[in-house]
Amino acid sequence: MSELTVIEVKRDEFKTRTELCGRSVAAAFIGTADMLATKDLERYVRALEAEVRRLAVCEVVVDMRELYFMNSHCLKLLVSWIVRAEALAPPQRCTFLFRTHRGLPWQRRTLLALTALAESIVRVEEA
Partner 1 sequence: MAEDVELLRQKAMLLVRRERELHSLRSRHDAALALLRVTQGLARERLAPGASPAAIYGRCAQALVDELNYQCVTMLERRGGRWGVAAAVGGAPDARALAGDDVARAVAARPEGVFNDGGDEGAAPLAAALGLRRFLWYTSGADGEAPMLLAAGYDAERAPFFFAFDADDLTFFKMVGQHLDAVLGNLRLVEALAAERAALLDLSRSLDRRVRERTEELTRALRALEEKDAHITSDLERAREFQRAMLAPLPPPGELRFGAVYRPASGVGGDVYDVARVRDGVHRVFLADVTGHGIQAALRTAVLKCEYDLATAAARSPEEALARLNRALVARHPDLDLLSTACCVDLEERDGGVTARVACAAHPPPLLARGAGAEEVEASGAFLGARAEIRLRATSVPLLPGDRLLIFSDGLCEVPGFELGPAARAVGAEGRALDDALAALVARAEAAGGAAGPGDDMTIIGVERGTRERPARARA
**Choice from 10, 23, 76, 102 touching partner 1 (CB under 8 A):** 76
- Residues recorded for the chain: 127
Residues 9-48 that bind partner 1 (CB under 8 A): 34-35
Selection from 20, 22, 94, 98 nearest residue 53 by Cα = 94
89 binds partner 1 (CB under 8 A): no
How far is the C-alpha of 114 from the C-alpha of 104, rounded, in Å? 16
Rg value, the chain, Cα: 13
Pick between residue 1 and residue 83 the one whose CB is nearest to partner 1: 83
Pick between residue 90 and residue 109 the one whose CB is nearest to partner 1: 109
Distance (Å) of CA 121 to CA 6, 27, 31, 64, 125: 23, 16, 25, 17, 13
79 binds partner 1 (CB under 8 A): yes
106 binds partner 1 (CB under 8 A): yes
Point out which residues bind partner 1 (CB under 8 A): 34-35, 69, 71-73, 76, 79-80, 83, 86, 106, 109-110, 112-114, 116-119
